[in-house]
Structure 1
Amino acid sequence: MSARPRAAWPLVAVFTAGYLAAYLLPTVVGRLSSGLGLSPTQAGLIGSTLLLSSAAAGFTLAARVERYGERRLARLGLLLALGGYGAAALTSLLPLVVAGAVVGGFGSGTATAVAASGMAARRDPHRLTTFGLLSVSATAGALYLTIPHFGGGHGLPFAALAGVAGSVWPVTTHLPGPAPVHVAERLPSPRLPRRRSGSVLAAAMLCWSLAQNALWGVSGRIGLTQAGLTEVTVGAVFAVALGAGLLGVTGAGALGARLGRAVPIGVGTVVIAGCVVLSSSARGLVSFACGEILWNVFYPVVLSYLLALAASLDPRGRWAVLAGSASSLGVACGPLAGSVLSSQAGYGGMGAVLGLVLLVVAAPLTTLARHRPLATAPIPGPTPQTLHPAGGSEFSLSV
């Protein structure tokens, strides 16, 4: 049996709150630019700083979730996200906005680390990851539809991030606390296994995420300036794209292990490279919408298999957190990389470079996926009830 309780939906909720900042990156960067009068590069740098703080939290906490307990760390992360993003939403002073983004980003990363570690210990981490991606995609899609109708300013995206973090707080009651001493003594050696495979996966995921989020970070500007669309139209395209992503994740969950991991990861990454080129060269609504929608169909599909692949490397969830943090580091560098590339080579040239990067990293990711089993064994230990918080009960998503 797993050393963690079988309560799945609290992990999905915490994952949603932690991962949402990356999904809202285009509107965060766009509103920072228009609302505070920043240049695209300056706004992209703030977005990168936010997500860099999130990645730093993951690297810091990768091996510490069991020690401190999921409940305690999740509450800390959500509190930091609520306070940091809330402060950034309530002020127009640039230093305070940046400080709030950094604090909020660290909170998001903490919440994501807790969720990734817990999901990796499940019997079917891929299925649970798809639930998390479905939840965050639906939440982000709803926000993309509503935010443009509540006026301008930089505060609304930050307020939305803070609101989601606050709404998730109550579910942390169902997460376990620190493992008792007698349980910790029965767990396997803490030495990190499969270091070579994990390092290759983490490095490839960093490049994979950087290439896509370099475009994601400037997609709003491509729609507004190059494709000539309004903010409402761009927001609607993003919402439809994220809705299509829900279909993609649902398909990935239904497909499961039928094709293994190598085919979805390899073929999906090649398709994504084509979507990046199409979206970056868009000159109107049709090409922009097609690129964004197709991209968002395949992105969460491949991501779900990559996260499950990371979970298979270590049932304690450390590689899941480290690989996810490397991906967050790529996401963090994305807005700045996209701004610099687009300013030097134009949006079309930027898309060509990013597409080539994706084609290059598809090879090691596919090779690694071919040599890993499709399931990870649960951690040996006591029954789930041993680690239930006092007075807690068991909940399940049938995973």
Structure 2
Amino acid sequence: MGSTSENWGGRATLMVAHCAGMVDLVALPVWVGVLISGYGLDPQQAGGLATLFLIGAVSASAFVAPRSNRMPARAVVTAGFAVAAAAFGGVGLVNDYAIMALLHLTAGLAAGTALSLTHAAVGRSGNPHRLFATVGFALGVFAVLFMVGVPKIVTSVGAPALFWTFASVMAFAACVAAIGFPDTRLPTGRTHGTNGKLPRAVWLAAAGISCMALTQAMMFAFLERIGADRGYGTAAVAGVLIALGFVNLIPAPLAAFLQRRLNPRTVLLCGPLLQAVLALLMTQSQSFVPYAAGAMFFAAVMIFTHTFAFGLLAALDPSGRAVGATPAMVMIGAAVGPILGGTIVKLSGYSSLGFAAVLIAACAVACFLPRRSDNVVPARS
């Protein structure tokens, strides 16, 4: 029997592909921190490199998502991760900023292509909400392993080790995809609505998710730097990052458990507000405990909210086009986040990041307010 999103072979492949494609969500604090401390870049330059990766992912997703029904998913996903592996391996071998920028962009284009087809496959499953929660839990496990191991490797080996780690992750995902990426043909009974315009609610939800992703990336990119520059100590900040990884194991399973107990629209309205509160905790306090509390739960809010958003979008558009564009939705905000955050820090300091988060949260809430999606019930398996 071939690999599909309804058997565990296919699901395991989707977990690996999701972890590799969403590596920025896990690694951004370490990524920007290493570029600053290991390569001597200023916050704006470091944020700019991360932004180039995300711009590449956004561009690829925007191109791939409308065509995902017609693409040979296994071959394209395998090739995408293989190219990303080569690009990140190249970053670990050079010091020239222009070459690093080109390789970051290339890695983003390749990984974004693979991730878009991965999310399209998840969206065409029998229960997209639950499967997205499953791959989200896998990302949480990956985050713990990453935060426990990679900073120590970078300290021992040097800054390039971070990019060699990225290359290894992408190469592993390419091998797994080549062996077992699932059949992404639409299940019987879900072939309607594969053409034509997407509902207005889809576009508004996408804009709201992008706003949340902007806040996530803007804050998350400088989470480690805020702690380090305020003198909390390397060990304490590293402990926060590890604790953050363990906390991130919770939101995806919790979102799956609460799938039919919470109204998706309520979750979408509350998510940006909680993001803003945690951002203020991190940036306005000069003591460690509020900073640590905000930092540990910050990414969890995005994971939990995005799981409900993914299930809702899959119900609004059964073709998988909308959820196939998930990397574009998430990363168009995330692409702006690091360089916007770096610019704000450079001009006004870390405290200004919290006020920017409040303004962006207001925009996200405005996008999620329309009621057209209220009657949509996620598919049951």
Q: Same fold (TM over 0.5)?
A: yes
Q: 2:156 aligned with 1:169, yes or no?
A: no
1:349 is aligned, of 341, 347, 352, to 352
1:96 is aligned, of 94, 99, 105, to 99
Q: How big is the shift at 1:353?
A: 2.2
Q: How big is the shift at 1:4?
A: 6.0
1:51 is aligned, of 26, 50, 54, to 54
Structure 1 residues 151 and 14, CA gap change in structure 2 (3 angstroms): closer
Structure 2: any 5+ residue segments left out of the alignment?
Answer: none
Aligned equivalents of 2:53 and 2:135: distance in 1? 21
1:221 alignment partner AA? R
Q: In the comparison of the two structures, how many residue pairs are matched? A: 372
Aligned equivalents of 2:175 and 2:193: distance in 1? 33
Structure 1 residues 270 and 92, CA gap change in structure 2 (3 angstroms): same
1:365 is aligned, of 356, 360, 368, to 368
Q: How big is the shift at 1:267?
A: 2.1
Aligned equivalents of 1:231 and 1:74: distance in 2? 38
2:213 alignment partner AA? S
Q: How big is the shift at 1:296?
A: 2.9
1:25 alignment partner AA? L
1:154 is aligned, of 154, 159, 163, to 159
Structure 1 residues 205 and 189, CA gap change in structure 2 (3 angstroms): closer
Q: What's the TM-score, normalizing by structure 1?
A: 0.86
Aligned equivalents of 1:140 and 1:197: distance in 2? 32
1:201 is aligned, of 199, 202, 205, to 205
Q: 2:308 aligned with 1:305, yes or no?
A: yes
**Counterpart of 1:112?**
115
Structure 1: any 5+ residue segments left out of the alignment?
Answer: 378-398
Aligned equivalents of 1:356 and 1:242: distance in 2? 27
Aligned equivalents of 2:72 and 2:184: distance in 1? 4
Deviations 1:83-103 (A, max 9, x none): 111111122232332222112
1:335 is aligned, of 317, 335, 338, to 338
2:43 alignment partner AA? P
Deviations 1:60-89 (A, max 9, x none): 101222312220111011111111111111
Aligned equivalents of 2:372 and 2:292: distance in 1? 31
1:155 alignment partner AA? P
Aligned equivalents of 2:374 and 2:58: distance in 1? 27
Q: 2:244 aligned with 1:244, yes or no?
A: no
1:66 alignment partner AA? N
Q: Contact (CA 8 Å) 1:242, 1:296: kept in 2 or not?
A: no
Deviates more, 1:130-139 or 1:3-12: 3-12
Q: Contact (CA 8 Å) 1:28, 1:154: kept in 2 or not?
A: no
Aligned equivalents of 1:38 and 1:210: distance in 2? 22
Q: Contact (CA 8 Å) 2:154, 2:160: kept in 1 or not?
A: no
**Counterpart of 2:220?**
216
**Counterpart of 1:390?**
none
Structure 1 residues 368 and 210, CA gap change in structure 2 (3 angstroms): farther
Q: What's the TM-score, normalizing by structure 2?
A: 0.90
Q: 2:11 aligned with 1:8, yes or no?
A: yes
1:175 alignment partner AA? F
Aligned equivalents of 1:193 and 1:363: distance in 2? 22
Deviations 1:134-173 (A, max 9, x none): 1112212221222222244432222222111122233222
Deviations 1:323-364 (A, max 9, x none): 441221100110011111223332222202212321341243
Structure 1 residues 189 and 272, CA gap change in structure 2 (3 angstroms): closer
Deviates more, 1:125-134 or 1:318-327: 318-327
Q: Contact (CA 8 Å) 2:259, 2:308: kept in 1 or not?
A: no
Aligned equivalents of 1:324 and 1:100: distance in 2? 19
Q: Matched residue of 1:286: which SS?
A: helix
Q: How big is the shift at 1:366?
A: 4.6
Q: How big is the shift at 1:308?
A: 1.7
Aligned equivalents of 2:165 and 2:294: distance in 1? 26
Aligned equivalents of 1:373 and 1:341: distance in 2? 39
Aligned equivalents of 1:368 and 1:164: distance in 2? 40
Residue pairs, 1:103-142, within 5 angstroms: 103-142=106-145
Q: How big is the shift at 1:214?
A: 0.8
Q: Contact (CA 8 Å) 2:192, 2:318: kept in 1 or not?
A: no
1:235 alignment partner AA? A
Deviates more, 1:6-15 or 1:71-80: 6-15
Root-mean-square deviation (Å): 2.5
1:77 is aligned, of 80, 83, 89, to 80
**Counterpart of 1:383?**
none
Structure 1 residues 179 and 356, CA gap change in structure 2 (3 angstroms): closer
Structure 1 residues 156 and 355, CA gap change in structure 2 (3 angstroms): farther
1:87 alignment partner AA? G
1:18 alignment partner AA? G
